């Protein structure tokens, strides 16, 4: 893990250099400003993070679980995403 990045009012996210991990789970992270030839992720759980400025020529995602991860300013060319689950971030708005 890298240096923490201040995001919003309360959350600190650790900068990471890879979205994969030996444990198969990456949480509370920031990954950004990368220009990759290929991104190949399988059997990974990404949770509570941000991906910014990611540019790829090809992406293959398999058996990926994504919970509360924000993708901003990304160009994921030739995206192939299969057998995966994406969950949105909980709404911060309250009903009146």
Q: Does residue 92 lie within any of the structural domains? A: no
Domain residue limits at 73: 4-87
Q: Does residue 16 lie within any of the structural domains? A: yes
Which band of pLDDT confidence, cut at 50, 70 and 90, is reported for residue 3?
A: very low
Q: Does residue 76 lie within any of the structural domains? A: yes
Better-predicted residue by pLDDT, 22 or 20: 20
Q: Does residue 23 lie within any of the structural domains? A: yes
Total count of domains within the chain:
1
Q: Does residue 52 lie within any of the structural domains? A: yes
Q: What is the pLDDT of residue 76?
A: 92
Kindly state the tokens that stand for 77.
Answer: 């060319």
Q: Does residue 95 lie within any of the structural domains? A: no
Instruction: State pLDDT tens for residues 42-66.
Output: 999 999 999 999 999 999 999 999 9
Q: Does residue 96 lie within any of the structural domains? A: no
- Dihedral (CA of 77, 64, 6, 2) sign: negative
- Closest by alpha carbon to 32, among 62, 71, 87? 71
Instruction: Indicate the pTM of the whole model.
Output: 0.74
Number of CB atoms found within 10 A of residue 14's CB: 16
Better-predicted residue by pLDDT, 89 or 70: 70
Q: Does residue 72 lie within any of the structural domains? A: yes
């Amino acid at each position: 893990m890298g240096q923490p990045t201040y995001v919003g009012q309360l959350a600190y996210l650790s900068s990471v250099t890879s979205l994969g991990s030996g444990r198969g789970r990456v949480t509370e992270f920031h990954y950004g400003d990368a220009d990759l030839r290929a991104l190949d992720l399988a059997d990974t759980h990404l949770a509570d993070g941000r991906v910014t400025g990611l540019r790829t020529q090809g992406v293959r995602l398999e058996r990926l679980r994504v919970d509360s991860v924000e993708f901003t300013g990304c160009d994921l060319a030739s995206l192939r995403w299969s057998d995966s689950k994406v969950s949105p971030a909980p709404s911060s708005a309250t009903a009146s």
